[in-house]
Copies of this chain bind each other. A is one copy, B any other.
Amino acid sequence: MAEHDIRELEEELPREEDEQLDEENRLKPEFVDSVIEAVDEGDESRAYELVEPLHPADIADLLELLQPERRHMLAAAITDLMTAEVVSELNDYVRDDMIEALPPEAVAEIAEQLDTDDAVQLIEDLDPAEQRAILAEMEPEDRAAIENALSYPEETAGRLMQRELVAVPEHLTVGDLIDYLRDNDDLPTEFFEVFIVDHRHRPVGSCQLSWILRCPRHIALSDVMLRDQTLIPVDMDQEEVALRFQKYALISAAVVDEGGRLVGQLTVDDIVHIIQEEAGEDALLMSGAGEGDINEPIRDAYWARVRWLVANLGTALIASVIIATFDSAIAQLTALAILMPIVPSLGGNAGTQTMAVTVRAIATNQLTRSNTRRMLGREFRVALLNGATVAVVIGIGVAAVFTPMLGLVIAAAMIINILTAGLAGVAVPVLFDRVGQDPAVASSVFVTMITDSMGFFAFLGLAVASGMVA
């Protein structure tokens, strides 16, 4: 018995101690290397044997880790492991790359195994001719569902939702519902709530499955259902949808069309990806790295980034023009040239700090018109403290190495620039948001432009005003 128990425990805890995954649940490099070796040697059966025990999500990770050529070779070796789950877990770029390499019939076959939302994701980025070729290979019903989903704009609830759901009329009892679920073979495999609809298919309530299981059979659904459910309009933006799921801690939600009719459902496992993407993309957008996916083709990454570098070149030139107006002062006192990059550098850093906080607060709906003024006041005070601290440090240092007057000048310039950074760090993203632009996208360029210009201008201008140079 004891021996049996131990064996059972070992069987039940494989993920923590298996050969393929490290302690952080990533594929071990040695394991990946052995797959690469098998692929390179053309040993398909060895490759299959290695990959076979993996979870679909790990097979997807493995394909992402390989170079494109090896990826295609491995996929060819493990065709029957390339299930719908694997395909739906693949990174967008990797999936598109692999789908383009398959014939339309094969793609159609994979798409038919998937829920509508995953099938849509599979083909939405392909060009229209390819989409048509794949759709032509599908069963009419699946095709209609996908075509309907594709008719909604990208990144809306209509694209994300599953059409598969359980909806019943309100006159049923708990017992009727259980019988319906037992008898009906055409239901989704997994669902978390049952929607109660009126005769026009408009949702009037919802029931968590746990309530249904805990109620006697004779209770009417209308007595246990929750009437005040969160309905998601079919054209709602996915970022908005993600915020609702978070705010109201939803597991699933009904999607309704303009007439209020139930057309689909969203479940939290699909929303989790959106939440992660939307929360993570701000760091990428603020740095000007575009989508910043490591599987993005090089030409896309180049184009996404070079635009911001050229914009940054423009702002750097503004700084150069400011410096140029002080060139005789610099020629007289090269200490100015030596010290002048410090002020804009610190200002840029302080501005980026405030901007990151502001962008995050806007994205999570924590910063609205009601508290913008309070936020500005708060950042002004933080900037005053930061500016004073940095000014004292640099002021004393410069006074000791150069002259006390130069120490005073750089300290004053530092306070001015860090205060400017604090205000710009709040104001720029807030203004972008008010005019309907994503505050994460262009704020950096403007904040840096402001802190660079102010940094050079304040330092060089104060130096001239102090009379230390002509």
Contacts and interface: CB of A to CB of B under 8 A. Distances in A.
A220 interface: no
B230 A210 contact: no
A268 B279 CA distance: 17
A286 B283 contact: yes
B189 A210 contact: yes
Contact of A370 (B27, B231, B340): B27
A240 B24 contact: yes
B365 A341 contact: no
A327 to B, nearest CB: 4
A292 B390 contact: no
A11 B203 CA distance: 11
A360 B293 CA distance: 8
Given A269-B268, A313-B390, A375-B294, A24 B365 contact: yes
A403 interface: no
Interface in A333-347: 334, 337-342, 344-346
A294 B367 contact: yes
A158 to B, nearest CB: 16
Given A302-B382, A323-B337, A360-B292, A346 B273 contact: no
Given A12-B202, A248-B57, A382-B302, A309 B346 contact: yes
A13 interface: yes
A214 to B, nearest CB: 5
Contacts of A385: 298, 302, 306
Contacts of A305: 350, 353, 382, 386
A33 B370 contact: yes
A466 interface: no
Interface stretch (A102-110, A128-136, A139-147, A190-198): A190-198
A360 B245 contact: no
Nearest to A282: B283
A99 interface: no
Interface of A: prevailing SS: helix
Given A12-B231, A268-B272, A385-B302, A345 B312 contact: yes
Nearest to A337: B337
Interface in A291-315: 292-295, 298, 301-302, 305-306, 308-310, 312-313, 315
6 contacts: A13-B256, A32-B368, A280-B363, A302-B382, A316-B345, A330-B330
* 3 A-B pairs with the lowest CB-CB distances in the bound complex, closest first: A283-B283, A279-B279, A287-B356
Interface of A: 5, 8-9, 11-13, 15-16, 24-27, 29, 32-33, 55, 57, 61, 64-65, 67, 89, 91, 178, 181-182, 187-192, 198, 200, 202-204, 208-210, 212-216, 227, 230-231, 233, 240, 243-251, 256, 260, 268-269, 271-273, 275-277, 279-280, 282-284, 286-289, 292-295, 298, 301-302, 305-306, 308-310, 312-313, 315-317, 319-320, 323-324, 327-328, 330-331, 334, 337-342, 344-346, 349-350, 352-357, 359-361, 363-371, 374-375, 378, 381-382, 385-386, 389-390, 393-394, 397, 418, 448, 452, 456
Given A15-B231, A29-B370, 15 more contacts: A8-B198, A24-B243, A25-B244, A209-B213, A212-B213, A272-B272, A279-B280, A287-B352, A289-B352, A294-B357, A294-B367, A313-B390, A317-B342, A317-B397, A334-B337
